[in-house]
Structure formats: C-alpha cells, structure tokens
Amino acid sequence: MGGWHRKHIIALKDLSRKEIETIFETARNFKEIAQREVKKTPALRGRTVINLFFESSTRTRISFELAAKRLSADVLNFSPSTSSLSKGESVIDTIKNLESYHPDIFVIRLGLSAFLDTLKRYTQASIINAGDGKNEHPTQALLDMFTTHQIKGTLENLKVLIVGDILHSRVARSNIFGFQKFSSSVRVCGPHTLIPYEFEKMGVKVFYDLSEAIKDVDVVIMLRIQRERQKEVFFPSIREYVEKFSLNPQRLKKAKDNCLIMHPGPINWDVEISSSLKKRLHPVILQQVENGLAIRMAILYLIGTQKKSDEDIN
C-alpha cells in the first residue's frame, strides 16, 4: 500500500480524507480475507503489537487483538489496573519499560484526554489510539464511517446525527471530525447539560430536541448513556431522559427512509434506544463489529509495514 506516511493514529482531527480512504481501501481487502477458510496473512510476522489498556475494555481490545493475530503479529495484552499504578507518571514509566522489548506498535486506551501526543515522544514504536479520555476514539469512528459507506454507498453529503452524552464522548468527537472530512453535515443532540461549551464552533448544529434533530437525517449514531454519571448533575432521571432523547419508532419516522442507526455499544435498551428497534439494529451492530476488525487490521497493516524511512510524519 504505497503512499502511507503516518506513524501514529492518534486523532481523526489530524487525518486527511485521502488517508481515511486509504484505510478503507485496505480494510476492504481484509474483509475479503476474513471470508476465506485460512484467515491469517503473514504481513506482520515478526512484529510485536502491545495492547496497553489503562482503562478496561472488552470489545475494542478483543478486536485489536484478533486483528493483530490475523496479521501474524506477536501480541501482548497488558492491562495495568489503574489502582496498582499511581496514575500519571506511571503511564510514561510503563511505556518506557515496555519499550525495552522493542515493540513495533502500541495500541493504547487511556482515561486521559489528549495525552498521546506527548506520550509518543517516549517510544520508538507507533501509537494507535484505542480511545483516550473524552478526546477521540478514531478506530470506532472509522468503523462507523466504513459501515455507513457500505450501506449508503457514499460518505458524501450525508446528514449525520449523534445523540446522547456528547460532553463525555470520544466517539462523538472522532465521528464529527471524520464525517466532516467528507462534506457530510453533523448534528448533535442531547440535554443542554451534556453538550460541550461553544460546540457549534466544531461546525456542528446543536439540537436539544430529538424529534426536531432527527428530521431528514441519513445516519443516527446513538451514544451510550452512562448511568453512573447520573449521580452528578447532568439530568435528573432516566425516565426524563427517555422521554426526551430515546430513539423510538415514532421519532425514527421523521428521519429519511432507510435511515442507518448505529451504536458503539454496549446498548442500554429502552434508555437510549427503544427495544422495539432491536431487530433493525442487530444486523448493523454485527456489521459494525466485523468492520471494526477489518479497520483495525488495515491500520495495523498500514502502520506496521511502512518503510522505516517514511516514519517522520507526526
């Protein structure tokens, strides 16, 4: 895959449309391989990928692990429990320590926003962001976009709506940056208390009423409502949230026909989405999971096989 020059995948805000298209193109090839009987390719043989998850994750970690294994890389999973580490300094110490094994790629999930740009100074290896705080979750957004492209046939000039806890969502931020690169317009919708300050400056339209926001949209991305955040002051009750912001068949009618609904999972049924939509969502969710694997294989492949001399970008 000629022309790939980026060493790290840290944020979609940094990626160009061309780079995203290259990732998609590569992912398409890997999807095809996944259908074969022998699903493994030797592309990353002899390379070491370390999955370093400072925050717990099942889906993303499994997806990355399998992606690396399918590419024949040696994979090490490391999930230091945050309690055993005295936070901050130790993130750097951990990286420095693991650096001694000369890994090629770190896949990192971290509870802190926007630290990976600093962290990359401490390693020779590439860093792939598997979700950093409330900042970005680039592979999730890429798989959402890839799924959208597959179903809609395009990523251009779509109306995309993201609903829920925008304030705390790295998925929302990455999707906004990603879809906007393809001239799609993005709307966000949620209670006032969960929309970040001056968020219109992101180039998005902000709505506080789902029935209004959903009009004529092509894609809806529903975010998970974290029940544990309720004890803070964001909204008084699930009941009230459901009434205003839950996606149900009635509200969905206002969207375009065949509107695509996605969710990064895990879903709180009957909170953010009515369980009567289960049937409609299930095939998409499975497709998202499958695409997630292909996207992560593509990224590992592009980063892992680029010539060392190209490694100066970023």
Interface of this chain with other proteins, residues 125 to 154, rule: CB under 8 A: 133-136
Choose the stretch contacting other proteins; rule: CB under 8 A; options: 115-123, 218-226, 254-262, 285-293: 115-123
Interface of this chain with other proteins, residues 6 to 35, rule: CB under 8 A: 13
112 part of the interface to other proteins, by CB under 8 A: yes
113 part of the interface to other proteins, by CB under 8 A: yes
Binder among 115, 146, 241, 301 for other proteins (CB under 8 A): 115
Interface of this chain with other proteins, residues 196 to 255, rule: CB under 8 A: 196-199, 201-202
Contact letters (x/-) for other proteins, 155-184, by CB under 8 A? -------------xxx--x-----------
96 part of the interface to other proteins, by CB under 8 A: no
DSSP string, the chain: -TT--BS-B--TTT--HHHHHHHHHHHHHHHHHHHSSS----TTTT-EEEEEESS--SHHHHHHHHHHHHTT-EEEEE---TTTTTSHHHHHHHHHHHHTT--SEEEEEESSTT-HHHHGGG-SSEEEEEEETTTB-HHHHHHHHHHHHHHHS--TT-EEEEES--TT-HHHHHHHHHHHTTT-EEEEE--GGGS-TTGGGGT-EEES-HHHHTTT-SEEEEPPP-GGGGGTTS-S-HHHHHHHH-B-HHHHTTS-TT-EEE--S---BTTTB-GGGHHHHHHHHHHHHHHHHHHHHHHHHHHHHS-GGGTTB-
> Which residue lies nearer to other proteins by CB, 121 or 307?
121
289 part of the interface to other proteins, by CB under 8 A: no
User: At closest approach, how far in Å is the CB of 253 from other proteins?
Assistant: 32
User: At closest approach, how far in Å is the CB of 112 from other proteins?
Assistant: 4
Footprint on this chain of other proteins (rule: CB under 8 A): 13, 87-89, 91-92, 112-115, 117-118, 133-136, 168-170, 173, 196-199, 201-202
